[in-house]
């Protein structure tokens, strides 16, 4: 792709540091592995940057499309109602246009992580770690 | 390992079906890939089986150790306080002994998923899917 793509990793937020640490850590890993992507974070509650601040953080990067990826395991009220409302995206179209630096930028909204082999693999790895430290 | 190991996939639970679907789907994927494991599920809130019912579901399976794996992205109040209390596990030892079929069974408590390459890979996959369906 010749156009520049942004990824906005969306977190739930928490009064504890762990949720932000995980979402930020995941965003850093994506940015490290996919160096042509511009990666930012945004949180729904209790942490900053907020989701709107996260979108603003793409200013000056030249992205023409941003994909907002909920770093949530499953759909629920947050992914189906709260986040689309914050981002101004209808759940059906999963897409809108925002203005950044005076230009139109396409904003897409992806599915959450879901029941994927990669989650199963990671859960099994955590089980093995607990067994081996026993 | 000659001893029989159980994995209890722990879910948050939700009034929507998605959380249970994801946790159950992940448990099924683990069971399918690692056929020597006995895999069960347990939910904290709003869904069944409860976590205690999940432990009881290992009766008759002959497991000598069960690893409870929180299918949660990050630590928080649930993984640090609520679930250890339900399982009767101290956060420091991350281990206890329960009785099943009149025998002692070791119950271990693993870390949640965390900021792992596998989550980053999956989040990137969801972003790519959104881009390609645009």
Q: Do A72 and B73 touch (CB under 8 A)?
A: yes
The pLDDT of residue A134? 84
Q: In what order do the strands lie in the sheet with A37-43?
A: A37-43, A5-11, A65-70, A103-109, A95-100
The pLDDT of residue B92? 78
pLDDT: which is higher, B92 or A95? A95
**Looking at residues A96-111, what average pLDDT do you find?**
97
What residue ranges do the domains of chain A occupy?
A: 5-132
Identify whether the C-beta of residue A115 lies closer than 8 Å to the C-beta of residue B21.
Answer: yes
Contacts (Cβ under 8 Å, ≥6 apart) of B49: B40, B41, B42, B43, B57
The pLDDT of residue B134? 84
The pLDDT of residue A125? 98
Cβ under 8 Å to A: B residues 71-100: 71-77, 80, 94-95
Q: What is the mean pLDDT of chain A?
A: 95
Confidence of residue A45 (pLDDT cuts 50, 70, 90): very high
Confidence of residue A92 (pLDDT cuts 50, 70, 90): confident
Confidence of residue B91 (pLDDT cuts 50, 70, 90): confident
Confidence of residue B113 (pLDDT cuts 50, 70, 90): very high
pLDDT digit string, tens, across residues B19-47? 999 999 999 999 999 999 999 999 999 99
Specify the pTM.
0.95
Neighbours of A114 (CB within 10 A): 19
The answer, for A10 touching chain B at a CB cutoff of 8 Å, is: no
Residue of B nearest to A19 (CA): B74
Please give the DSSP secondary-structure letter assigned to residue A88. T
The rounded distance, in Å, linking the Cα atoms of A28 and A40 is 9
Cβ under 8 Å to B: A residues 19-48: 19, 21-26, 28-30, 33-34
Identify whether the C-beta of residue B48 lies closer than 8 Å to the C-beta of residue B35.
Answer: no
The CATH architecture that domain A5-132 belongs to is: 3-Layer(aba) Sandwich (3.40)
What share of chain B in percent tops pLDDT 90? Answer: 93
């Amino acid at each position: 792709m010749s156009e520049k793509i942004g990824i906005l990793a969306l977190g739930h937020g928490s009064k504890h540091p762990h949720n932000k640490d995980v979402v930020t850590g995941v965003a850093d890993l994506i940015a490290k592995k996919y160096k042509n992507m511009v990666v930012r974070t945004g949180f729904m509650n209790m942490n900053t940057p907020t989701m709107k601040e996260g979108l603003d953080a793409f200013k000056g990067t030249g992205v023409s499309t941003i994909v907002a990826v909920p770093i949530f395991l499953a759909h629920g009220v947050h992914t189906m109602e709260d986040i689309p409302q914050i981002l101004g995206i209808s759940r059906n179209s999963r897409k809108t246009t925002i203005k950044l630096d005076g230009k139109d930028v396409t904003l897409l909204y992806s599915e959450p992580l879901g029941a994927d082999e990669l989650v199963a693999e990671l859960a099994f790895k955590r089980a093995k770690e607990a067994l081996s430290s026993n």
